[in-house]
Structure formats: structure tokens, C-alpha cells
Amino acid sequence: MKAVVYVENGRFEVQDRPRPVIRDPRDAIVRVTTASICTSDLHIRAGAVPRAVPGTVIGHEFVGVVEELGPGVRGFEVGDRVAVNVETFCGHCFFCRRGWVNNCTDPAGGWAMGCRIYGAQAEYVRVPYADNGMTRIPDHVTDEQALFTGDLLSTGYWAADIGEVSEGDTVAIIGAGPTGICTAMCVRMRNPARIVMIDVQRERLDFALQHGLADDVVCVPEEDPEAFLKSATDGRGADVVMEVAGGRDTFQTAWRIARPNAVVVVVAMYEEPQVIPLPDMYGKNLVFKTGGVDASHCQEIMDLIAEGRIDPSVLVTHRFGFDDIMEAYDLFANHRDGVMKVAVRISEP
């Protein structure tokens, strides 16, 4: 089969690889129909994910059709259309039983696919713990609508949940990229009074406004987010802050724009250590929550998509065939042509 392979730092290639086979009774083999490119794939290419091994097939953001099932898989049939979870998890360890699947203690657990084991930018993929890792796609839901169920939307759903967003809150989201947009979608369902999105790219902020995912936007450095949040909340600051950007100074912005006793959710991946300046924030009594997403609500997310309550397909701004996936990488990595997300057609549904 054809697959995108991590060769060395800074380099991916499309290569021939053996078609995957069932290795465990709980495995499934899925024929990939549509995949996307995640920012974490770019981190792998740059060598910033130390667990990634050269020679690994990349990708974890995809949907497909079940081709083969191990004898231990109970909840699916060959031919089912499925969205696949970013996390591999056993479902019965201490952490899994509490919904903290990112911390699954099984040797295969955590972010495995496209990192430690062969991923999904390929014609076929092996899905471990398939009963936990797959979500059936209803017939009326398109590939593009279901594409982000197991990663981006799971991240946004998790962030809104642990952020304890309540009706009437002012929620600030730092970062209006794909993850920030999905976070806003999930926050919106909790009926906040106001969502304020903050970014350095006016184009992305306009996208959020266009799709009704922000009530106000702040474009840095043209505008000061701390001053804006104070003026919008009678001097208090945001009730909940979602730090999704992972920029050089965005963590500092996150705690500064939060009101006293607020929750600050750190969704972002950083390229360097961050400093918590406790003397400067003394008296704010902030609660920090950080991740790794626990992608344990995929069925609830799929139900919301099926009911028309969220439509993540608006994120797909560009489409490519598998033969042009390196062009898709170039576009996505360099943020050209207003790209949000790309959909790569690997095979027909």
C-alpha cells in the first residue's frame, strides 16, 4: 500500500509499505477513505515528538471503512463506516475507568497511531482496541463531517468540559486555528454569555466571526487582550480561559486575562518550557488544567454531528487526492491561501 512515512527530521515521503494485518484479537483493519493533516504531524516531521520512530507511517486524523475484524471485536461489522480515535486505550485500567484515556497504562495506550505504530495517512491502518477506538458513522453524516471526531472535536469537547464552562460565562479562547475553532464549537453549546477569540491572524478571527463561533475578537498585537477583557467584564477578566495557541507568550496572556478564581485550561502544545510566575499572580487563586486530551466522548460528539448541532466540516478549506498529499503538507505547514484544514481523499467510501 502507499503511505506517508517519517524518514528523518524535516522529511516525510510517500512510500510503499506492507498492508497491515490483525495482530491481536481486539484489532480491526480499516480502509482509509479520508484523512487530514494535524499540527502534531508537523511536530513529528520537525523531530519535536521524541516517541516518533523514523520509518513510521504518519497520521491519526481519519475516517474509513472496516475491512477486517479480530475475533475479540464485538461492536462492529465489516463494511461499517467509522471515525477513529486519536487515543489507543484498553478501557479497563485505573485511568481508563475514570475516563482519563490519555493516561492508559496499557503498553499500547496513549497516542500510538502515527507516532509509535503505523498511522493513517495510508490506504489501510490497523486499529488496536477497536471497540474503544472506533465510532460508527451514521449514513447521513459525510466523511468530512465525521473527520475530526476523534481528535480536534474531542479536544474541544474535553476542554469545554474540564474548563467547567457554565451558562453566562465570558470565555476567552487564545488561538483561532482549527483546534481553537473546535473548542469554540463545544463551548458554544454550553451557552456562555460571550466568547472572545484572540489570535495574531485577522483572517482566522474573521473565520470565527463568519461562522458564529466568536462574539468578539482581539487581534494581537494591534489590540491588547488584557485591556479588552477587563473593559468587557467590569474589570474582572474572563471566567474561563482556553489557551490553544502555544505561542511564545500565550501562556502568560492566558493567566493575565483570567479573573480571580477563574479556570485556565492549557490545551496547547509548547515547543519550550513555560514559567508559572507565582509571585506575579499571587491572589488571583487560579485553577490550571492541562492536557493531553482524553478522547473518551466520541459517541456523544458523533451524536451532536448527526443531530446537526455542530458541523465541523466548515473547517475543511482545501481538498486533495492522495497523490498530492505532499502538496497538502506544504500548504498546511506554511498557512497559505487561508487554509484551516485539508481533507485528503485516500479511497472512495
Inform me whether the pLDDT recorded for 339 exceeds 80: yes
Q: What pLDDT, on the 0 to 100 scale, is given for residue 46? A: 82
Exposed / middle / buried, residue 222 (Cβ in 10 Å: 0-12, 13-18, 19+)? exposed
Average pLDDT over residues 5-24: 94
CATH assignment at residue 306: 3.90.180.10
- Are 127 and 30 in contact by the 8 Å Cβ rule? The answer is yes
Do 49 and 60 fall within a single domain? yes
Do 122 and 168 fall within a single domain? no
| pTM of the full structure | 0.93
Do 143 and 284 fall within a single domain? no
Residue 271 binned pLDDT confidence (cut-offs 50, 70, 90): confident
Sequence letter at residue 264: V
**If residue 228 lies in a helix (H) or strand (E), which one and from where to where?**
helix 225-232
Q: How far apart are CA 202 and CA 291, in angstroms?
A: 27
Q: What is the DSSP letter of 53?
A: -
Task: Please give the mean pLDDT across all residues of the chain.
Answer: 95
Do 131 and 253 fall within a single domain? no
Inform me whether the pLDDT recorded for 266 exceeds 90: yes
Residue 28 binned pLDDT confidence (cut-offs 50, 70, 90): very high
Q: What pLDDT, on the 0 to 100 scale, is given for residue 179? A: 95
Q: How far apart are CA 223 and CA 69, in angstroms?
A: 54
Q: What pLDDT, on the 0 to 100 scale, is given for residue 12? A: 93
Closest CA to 14 of 122, 159, 128: 122
**If residue 94 lies in a helix (H) or strand (E), which one and from where to where?**
helix 94-97
Do 123 and 41 fall within a single domain? yes
Do 142 and 166 fall within a single domain? no
Residue 111 binned pLDDT confidence (cut-offs 50, 70, 90): confident
Q: How far apart are CA 19 and CA 113, in angstroms?
A: 15
CATH assignment at residue 178: 3.40.50.720
Structural domains of the chain, count: 2
Beta-carbon contacts of 282 under 8 Å, excluding residues fewer than 6 positions away, are none
User: In terms of residue numbers, what domain contains 240?
Assistant: 154-290
Do 285 and 298 fall within a single domain? no
Query: Which one of 268, 290, 312 terminates a domain?
Result: 290
Residue 142 binned pLDDT confidence (cut-offs 50, 70, 90): very high
Q: What pLDDT, on the 0 to 100 scale, is given for residue 236? A: 97
Do 315 and 248 fall within a single domain? no
- Are 33 and 349 in contact by the 8 Å Cβ rule? The answer is yes
What strands, in cross-sheet order, belong to the sheet with 238-243?
216-219, 194-199, 170-174, 238-243, 258-266, 287-290
Average pLDDT over residues 272-282: 92
Average pLDDT over residues 334-339: 92
**Rounded (5°) CA angle 204-268-121:** 80
Do 256 and 341 fall within a single domain? no
Q: What pLDDT, on the 0 to 100 scale, is given for residue 256? A: 97
Alpha helical stretches, state H, 134-217 = 143-146, 152-162, 178-188, 202-210
Do 83 and 222 fall within a single domain? no
Residue pointed to by grid coordinates 497491515:
20
Percent of the chain residues topping a pLDDT of 90: 88
Do 41 and 117 fall within a single domain? yes
- Are 120 and 99 in contact by the 8 Å Cβ rule? The answer is no
Residue 188: all three cell numbers together = 458554544
The predicted-structure confidence for 175-219, as pLDDT tens digits, reads as follows 999 999 999 999 999 999 999 999 999 999 999 999 999 999 999
Inform me whether the pLDDT recorded for 261 exceeds 90: yes
The predicted-structure confidence for 43-89, as pLDDT tens digits, reads as follows 888 887 777 888 999 999 999 999 999 999 999 999 999 999 999 99
Do 6 and 130 fall within a single domain? yes
Residue 149 binned pLDDT confidence (cut-offs 50, 70, 90): very high
Q: What pLDDT, on the 0 to 100 scale, is given for residue 91? A: 94
Q: How far apart are CA 155 and CA 209, in angstroms?
A: 21
